[in-house]
Structure formats: C-alpha cells, structure tokens
Amino acid sequence: MGKDKSNSFFQTVKKGLPVMLMVVAILLCWETAVWLFDLQPWLLPPPSRVLGEMYAERIVLLGHSLRTISEALLGMSIAILSGLALGTAIFYSPLLRQTLYPLLVASQTVPLVVLAPLLVIWFGYGLLPKILVVILACFFPIAVNTVTGLQSVDSDLIRLFQSFGAKPAAIFRIAQWPAAIPAILSGIRVASSYAVMAAVVGEWMGSDSGLGVYIIRSAHSFLTARVFAGILLVSFYSILLFAVVEQVEKKVVFWQYDIKQKEVGKS
C-alpha cells in the first residue's frame, strides 16, 4: 500500500517536473530581458517585482480573492445542478432535444463579454450578475456531457432491464446514471476551468471588489506589477479548482484512471 502511494507520488512529480522547469525558465528569461533592455516597471515589471507586490498587497488581494472565489464556487454549484437537470430533461424529451438543444449549442457563439453588460443593466451591480456570468460559462459543458453520458448506455443493457420488468426510474438509477457519471464529471472538470475567469469578467462590468476590479483599477493607475499579480492569482485559482475536480473525478471513476495507467505502463 505504502509502496503504491510512493510510486504514485514519484509519477506525479515526474509528470509535473517538465512543466515546472519550463515555468522557471520563462521567469528567468523574463527577469533577464527586463534587466537587459532596461524596461520601465509600468511597461513590463520583472517577476521579482510582481512577487514583491503580491506580498505587499497580500491582505488586499486576500479580500478580493475571497469575493471572486465565492462568486465562482456559487455560480459553478448552480451550473452543476441546472446542467444536470436540463441535460436529463433533454435526454428524456424528444421535443426538448429537437428545440432546446440546438439553441443551447447556438448560445455558445455569443461571447460572455457581450452578455455581461446586459446582465448588469438588467440586474444591477450586485452579486447576481457575476454569478449569472459564471453559470452561463459553466452550464454548457455540464449539460452537454450529461446528455452524452446518458446516451452512451448500451441499448442491450436497457432492453435487458426492461425484459425483467424494471421501471424507467429503476433503469435510470441502476444503469443510466452510473454509466453517465464519467462523462458528467468530465464536463464538470471542463467547466471548472472557466469558473474563476467568468467571475472576473463579471466583475469587470461593475463591482466594488474582486480580482477583476483589482486588475482594472491597477491597469488604470499604470501599476502593471499589480496587474500581473492579479492575473497570476486568477490563473492559480483556476488551476487549483481544476485540480480539485480532477482529484474528485479520479476517486469516483477510479477504474478509468487505473486502465489508463496500465496502458501507459505497457507502452
């Protein structure tokens, strides 16, 4: 047991080492370029200055971060519930599949940056429009993957349950829902990468706090190091949320990852 955990840890480190080395190389090149070309801090601050600003502004950034994270998590939670509900309804209703599903796909052609100002006009500058932006960003992959997952169930398995007199609710609970979980979790994982950035977009349209507000105010004051500090935090929180969802997915649909590891081991 301990040996398996140790091997898993070393595999994770081995997998992430090239990315870490690349990040370090980029930061060193960035720092060197600023020093060689004598670039002004308002134009391109060195990474050392960005990290210094992050430390100096840590209390302020913490307050803004809590606001953005709360918007992202609340919006994503609602998106998960509504995406599962609508995806299931589309799967079971031919009418919704023919009418609503194409509209759902078409809605993804409208950029969030365009919709966000309208949400502010309709719902004001409070928390609601930011949460709605997150819901709109996260809802689509969850709903679509729910439909795809439910459709992936083997039709022979459904007929087998029906031959034993199983009711539709029982078939959904025993066969369709478990089979759809991998696709649903995959959709949630994709949605998690949008949540924090969607909250920031909502904050750009009008808010009194949040990382989006912090970035905009810093840019207007030509405090470029603080802009980069905000951007780094947005990226960090997005990656962190993605990683958390991925770990949950590995625990729930562990058999898929076991199969992948065996295939990698054979190759």
**pTM for this prediction:** 0.85
- In tens, the pLDDT along 223-258 reads 999 999 999 999 999 999 999 999 998 888 876 655
pLDDT (mean) for 173-189: 90
Task: Give the pLDDT score at 109.
Answer: 83
∠ CA 234-245-105 to the nearest 5 degrees? 80
The CATH number assigned to the domain with range 46-266 reads 1.10.3720.10
Nearest one of 147, 140, 128, 134 to 90, comparing CA atoms: 147
- In tens, the pLDDT along 69-81 reads 999 999 999 999 9
Reduced DSSP (H G I as helix, E B as strand, rest coil) percent helix, strand, coil of the chain, to 5: 85, 0, 15
